[in-house]
Amino acid sequence: MQAGKLRLGHGLYFEELPLGHTFRSFGRTITEADLVNFVNATGFTEVLFTDTEYLKTDSAIKGRVVPAMMVYALGEGLVVPFMQGTGLAFFNATIDVKGPTFVGDTIHVEGEVIEARATSKGGSGLVRTMNRVVNQRGETVLTCNPLRMMKRRSYVPSGSH
Using the predicted structure, report yes or no on whether residue 84 has a pLDDT greater than 70. yes
Rounded distance between C-alpha atoms, residue 66 and residue 73, angstroms? 12
Q: Average per-residue pLDDT in the chain?
A: 93
pLDDT at 68: 97
Nearest of 102, 101, 152 to residue 126 by alpha carbon: 152
What is each CA distance from 117 to 14, 54, 65, 94, 122, in whole angstroms? Answer: 9, 49, 38, 19, 10
Percent of the chain exceeding pLDDT 90 equals 84
Q: 42-45 contacts: CB < 8 A, separation 24 or more? A: 42/67, 42/69, 44/69, 44/70
CATH class, 14-151 region: alpha beta
Rounded distance between C-alpha atoms, residue 66 and residue 64, angstroms? 7
Using the predicted structure, report yes or no on whether residue 155 has a pLDDT greater than 80. no
Query: C-alpha angle 151/153/155, rounded to 5°?
Result: 90
Position 159 confidence tier, pLDDT thresholds 50, 70, 90:
low
- pLDDT, one tens digit per residue, over 43-69 is 999 999 999 999 899 999 889 999 999
Q: What is the mean pLDDT of residues 89-118?
A: 97
